[in-house]
Amino acid sequence: MDKVYNMSIFAKVVEMGSFTAVANHLDTTVGNISRAVSVLEQNLDTRLLQRSTRKLLITDAGRRFYERSVAILADIEQAEAEARDALLEPRGKLRVYAVPGVGRRLVSRAALAYRRSYPDVSVDLILSQRMPNLLEEQLDVAVVIARTLPDSAYVSQKIGVSHCVLAASPAYLAEHPAPERPEDLVDHTCVLLGTVDYSPDEWHLESVEGRAVYRPVGPHFGVNDMDAMATILKDGAGIGLIAAFSAIDDLRNGSLVRVLPQYHTQQRNVYAVYSSRQFVDAKIKRFVDALKVDVGGELHAYTAELGINVEAA
């Protein structure tokens, strides 16, 4: 029999004063109750109860074992309650990974709002270009951007979509006439973004009129961070592809201007990835739900503001 089960039987015998009372309480036989206590005594090589035909007497060793057993059983019950509660109410530490661009602007705000809603949760937000191993790095949720995700044992939920647009500073365009077609980009300095989400080698552009692929050639400027991309473009480095979520404020205030405004990149999906489909902690489930509303909602608003037709993308 299970040791913890036998301990619980022994504790009930001490508390109720007889094997028969415990057997009736648990709807089992007196023999089963007696055997549970006997197994404990054999394992401990110690007499816990003195049995007679009239009553049970607990030994000194039995009294000490009973007191420790009650404490241990209470701890186990508390641990089980906390584990069950973790599936119902967010609590504990939530470790979140996000790629820097969407992480700085959107995930960080969503995480702060989530933390205010669930003050019993501590949030660690890790921003990195390097794709993590969720299990090895003990991460609860990863927010990534990709056309599609590779097959894995992880669970993913799409929380929104993202597009890049071509942009440059007004100063750059004052010196270099804006291109009218994708082929005209060959006459411009291109600022290339190279991250885990984007390849700098090819710009896959599309519009309501169709698709175009531009392969940057000649002198260029390369960067691996979306916020740095925005700074470089505003300083007049050239024309670059920049995510709507990084460019939207600069486009609104005129620090950046869209180039070939009818074009944008192919749609990339923003995913929340976590390790298991079964027994998902409430802190994870509620956070993913919050990402869908907060991050997904913001991404949708940017797409609409820039006139990008998601259904056609």
Structural domains for the chain: 3-86 (1.10.10.10), 92-160+268-305 (3.40.190.10), 164-265 (3.40.190.290)
Locate the DSSP E strands across the chain. 49-51, 56-58, 92-98, 121-127, 141-146, 155-162, 164-168, 190-193, 203-207, 210-214, 220-223, 239-243, 257-258, 264-265, 268-274
> Are 84 and 115 spatial neighbours (Cβ–Cβ below 8 Å)?
no
Query: What confidence score (pLDDT) does residue 297 get?
Result: 95
More confident residue, 191 or 74: 191
Distance separating alpha carbons of residues 58 and 186, to the nearest angstrom = 92
Distance separating alpha carbons of residues 246 and 249, to the nearest angstrom = 8
**How far is residue 277 from each of residues 27, 180, 281, 284, measured CA to CA in Å?**
37, 49, 10, 11
β-sheet bridge partners, residue 272:
143, 157
Mean pLDDT score across all residues of the chain: 86
pLDDT-based confidence at 310, cuts 50/70/90?
low
Phi, psi angle pair for 138, to nearest 5°: 55, 50
Average pLDDT over residues 51-67: 85
Give every CB contact of residue 259 below 8 A, 6+ residues apart in sequence.
Answer: 166, 167, 168, 173, 178, 179, 239
| pLDDT(309) > 90 | no
Q: Which residue has the tokens 């037709």?
A: 309
CB atoms closer than 10 angstroms to residue 69:
20
| pLDDT(207) > 50 | yes
Query: What confidence score (pLDDT) does residue 25 get?
Result: 84
